Amino acid sequence: MVSNLIFNSSSKELRFNIIEPSESSGYSDVFIPKTIVRNIEGADVFLDGKKIDHTSSAIEDSWLLHFNYIPNAYEVTISLSGASTPFEIPLSDLMPFLLVSIGVILSAIVLYWYKRKR
């Protein structure tokens, strides 16, 4: 049984609680959309704060994280902070390009007006 599912977009962590009866096999398959994570390679899985091994694979538009555990009650944390998020360019990296573009456009306008008046 899964409960208390929470995704924190700031810390890029998915948290939930699992309770598995002792007669069941303990494993989880977690699907994460590729719109949230571009590359799953840096993801980490923790059971009650202890890092555990997991496998990951691409399934169409999602990533599948699979991990095993001994049936019990756990808090699961999946940290996506090491994984690649969708392509984002900070505004500070775009500023030089924007300034040069504005300069070229203004120069073209001034040149057009200058040639038109002659």
Residues 62, 32: contact at Cβ < 8 Å? yes
pTM of the model: 0.66
pLDDT on residue 88: 54
CA angle in degrees (0–180, nearest 5) for 12-16-22: 145
* Helix, strand or coil, per DSSP, at residue 40: coil
The ranges assigned to domains in the chain are: 2-87, 89-118
Q: Is the domain covering 2-87 a CATH 2.60.40 domain?
A: yes
CA angle in degrees (0–180, nearest 5) for 38-54-5: 70
77-98 pLDDT, tens digit per residue, is 999 887 765 555 556 666 777 7
Residues 47, 72: contact at Cβ < 8 Å? no
Q: Is the pLDDT higher at 100 or at 63?
A: 63
